[in-house]
A and B are shown apart, each in its own frame.
Chain A
Amino acid sequence: MNILRKMSACLALFFAAVPLLTAQNRFPKPDFTNGYKIPELSPLPSAASPVERLMLSIAPYLQYAVVAVLLIFLLLSCYFLYRKRSRRGVLVMALATVAFFGFIIGGCICPVGSIQNVAAAVFNPAFPISPVVLGIFLLPLFFALFAGRVFCGSVCPLGTIQEIVNFYPLKVPPLLDRILRTIPLFYLGFGVLFAATGIGFIICRFDPFVGLYRMAGPFFILTSGGGLLLLGVFVARPYCRYLCPYGVLLGWLSRLSSRRVSITPDECIRCRLCENACPVDAIMPPSPPNQDREPMRKSLHRIILLLILLPMTAAAGGVTGYFLGNPLSLLHPRVELYRQVSTELAAGERPQTDESLAFRSAGTPVAELQKEVSAVVSNIRLGSCILGIFIALAIMARLFNFSKRREQKDYQVDNSLCVCCGRCYNVCPRDKRNRIMLKESE
């Protein structure tokens, strides 16, 4: 019997040419005579270590605790920003965020990445989403609706690490700034499209800072994170301004917020001291007196021109998106698999890649894959068509905003750009005066 077992194993080892995935349990369970008891698993996860056991048992509640901490951080940031008007308080919150949401939690899951979970869950009913993820996605948006982008200022693990390193903020030329600020629109659009159609979570894949928080990650991510931080010493928050897709959503909602960062606590004396204080160029100067401005007619003409161009731009965006659909669909893993498998089958080859080996040994009929892939491709084509229209409309809306005549008396903050860092508080002489008076009264 024993010799037979050994021989059969040898035979299997030496002569089995094609490994079979399904055929297992080749050898019967041994009958031990010396009283040996068969253990369960090695290493046994449920009994691995008291720490892991504890972590596993509290994991469901821990996730809710993270949402609670996010809420507390947002409330505290609002308190420091609006009630205390304290840049120092905001900085302390930023440091706490880097420590907690960055190094302790390890970066995931963050509201920026959760866009994709929500998009995937909306378009794919089988995608699991928990209230935790939903809460993490919605809480900062909800706060933006009432208090502007407080999340960006001191609760976002990606934003705060850039805030902390921004020692010598330089001004980005306005035109370049406006052009670069369209990138997040594309990033958001493609992030949602890729997540909704199952291509992947690109926002997470190219998250530059999560690698630093984990002290581990692909070389490209670690270097781009380091590079962005180096750039961030001089250019304030390069990721937030020129890449962050969540910032687009926050910007839209914070336009509706009635609460905004007010540079001066009471009245503006137009001392111009705050003009260069804002690292993200969110401070808008008072509109010049009427005789110095371009005539009303000119801006009206521009707006009419934009209105005429609007349907054409939208159509152009849609058509471009439609034709981009096919090349984009090649990024989908199932489409790539189908291409590989069908070429192999046509040439009568054995599986050339691990992917096709896994697919062919699983025994799924190719027709089923073909059906799935054609559905995926048509989804991607439709999605990228809608995406094209969306990006065209969003860019046009920005142009409208630039062309609009502003009527504004004092130095004011553009709520959709302001990241609530509180730097402008420190330069306003009225603010300083208030502080001194407060101290004296105490």
Chain B
Amino acid sequence: MNEDIRQDSDSAKQVGLSRRSFLKMCGISAIALAGSAMVYKRKELTGTVWQLDPEKCIQCGRCATACVLTPSAVKCVHCFARCGYCDLCSGYFVQKPVALDTGAENQLCPTGALKRTFIEDPYFQYTIDEKLCIGCGRCVKGCADFGNGSLFLQIRHSRCKQCNECAIAVACPASAFKRVPVTNPYLMKTDVPGGGKA
């Protein structure tokens, strides 16, 4: 009696197994087909990281606040080749500065991350102290509106957590954020406006 039951269950198991393995085969082949079709369709096969296109950026200031990190993973970068080395730098000074010096009341940068050094009359070099920069883009806006546009924002990959959906990309009003190949993770400005990568 007991053996009968066992045999029954065994045979039932076998039937179940064959159907199961058939379905399994279907499932695997479907997944494999879909996967290979998708891979085949794509040309670029490298992984991607988030980056912002400085040519699209409108310096709204959301980079500083929308990032999941505090301070943001976005920081300012300076392309010296495009800089005019102006004495009255519209990225460094507030509008109508009291004096053209390094006084805090004259500076646009809220954290004093933009450093001004004298080169020769009337030229000044502006560098960014990355540790202090919070990515608010005020200097970028000043430089883009009245200067050469040599300051620009970039996601610093040493900080970026590579969220699957970048929180700043969601908040960006200009749709400037996109996924770029990990092999070329920065979109730099060059000395020519609208020119290619550095």
Contacts and interface: CB of A to CB of B under 8 A. Distances in A.
19 contacts: A9-B88, A12-B90, A13-B90, A27-B147, A32-B123, A52-B157, A52-B158, A59-B182, A63-B47, A108-B163, A132-B47, A138-B31, A142-B28, A145-B28, A204-B164, A204-B165, A205-B170, A216-B70, A253-B27
A373 interface: no
Contacts of A130: 44-48
A142 B173 contact: no
A128 B44 contact: yes
Interface in A244-265: 253, 256-258
B72 to A, nearest CB: 10
Contacts of A367: none
Nearest to A122: B38
A205 to B, nearest CB: 6
B84 interface: yes
Nearest to A334: B175
A132 B179 CA distance: 14
Nearest to B178: A128
Contact of B78 (A5, A41, A56): A41
**Interface size class, chain A:** 35 or more
Interface in A216-256: 216-218, 253, 256
Interface in A171-210: 200-201, 204-205, 210
B10 interface: no
Contact of A106 (B75, B149, B162): B162
A36 B146 contact: no
Contact of B185 (A59, A141, A146, A210): A59
B106 interface: no
Contact of A59 (B35, B49, B164, B165): B49
A358 interface: yes
Interface of A: 2, 5-6, 9-10, 12-14, 16, 19-22, 24-30, 32-34, 36, 38-43, 45, 48-49, 51-52, 55-56, 59-60, 63, 106-110, 113-114, 116-118, 121-122, 125, 128-134, 138, 141-142, 145-146, 200-201, 204-205, 210-211, 214, 216-218, 253, 256-258, 333, 353-355, 357-358, 361-362, 409
A121 B45 CA distance: 13
A51 B158 contact: yes
A129 B44 CA distance: 8
B88 A256 contact: no
Interface string B39-65: 101101111110000001010101000
Interface string B165-179: 101001001110001
B80 A41 contact: yes
B130 A204 contact: no
B84 A114 contact: no
A49 B158 CA distance: 9
A10 B93 CA distance: 11
Contacts of B80: 38-42
Interface in B86-130: 86-88, 90, 93, 95-96, 119-123, 125-128, 130
Contacts of B174: 354-355, 358, 362
A36 B124 CA distance: 11
A403 to B, nearest CB: 20
Contact of A117 (B86, B93, B164, B181): B164
Contact of A217 (B24, B68, B84, B162): B68
Contact of A16 (B47, B75, B145): B145
B173 A353 contact: yes
A355 B157 CA distance: 26
B146 A13 contact: yes
B154 A201 contact: no
A33 B191 CA distance: 20
Nearest to A146: B24
B39 to A, nearest CB: 6
B7 to A, nearest CB: 14
Nearest to B66: A218
Contact of B164 (A9, A42, A113, A142): A113
Contacts of B163: 108, 204, 210
Contacts of B77: 41-43, 45
Contacts of B87: 5-6, 9
Contact of B17 (A6, A30, A121, A258): A258
A117 B38 CA distance: 12
A399 to B, nearest CB: 21
Given A27-B86, A48-B158, A358-B60, 12 more contacts: A5-B86, A9-B90, A25-B193, A30-B85, A34-B120, A36-B123, A45-B154, A52-B157, A63-B47, A121-B38, A256-B20, A258-B21
Contacts of B95: 13-14
A43 B128 contact: yes
A38 B23 contact: no
Nearest to B26: A256
A106 B165 contact: no
A142 B95 CA distance: 61
A116 B20 contact: no
Contacts of B70: 216
A204 B175 CA distance: 19
Nearest to A213: B161
Contacts of A30: 84-85, 123
Contacts of A257: 24
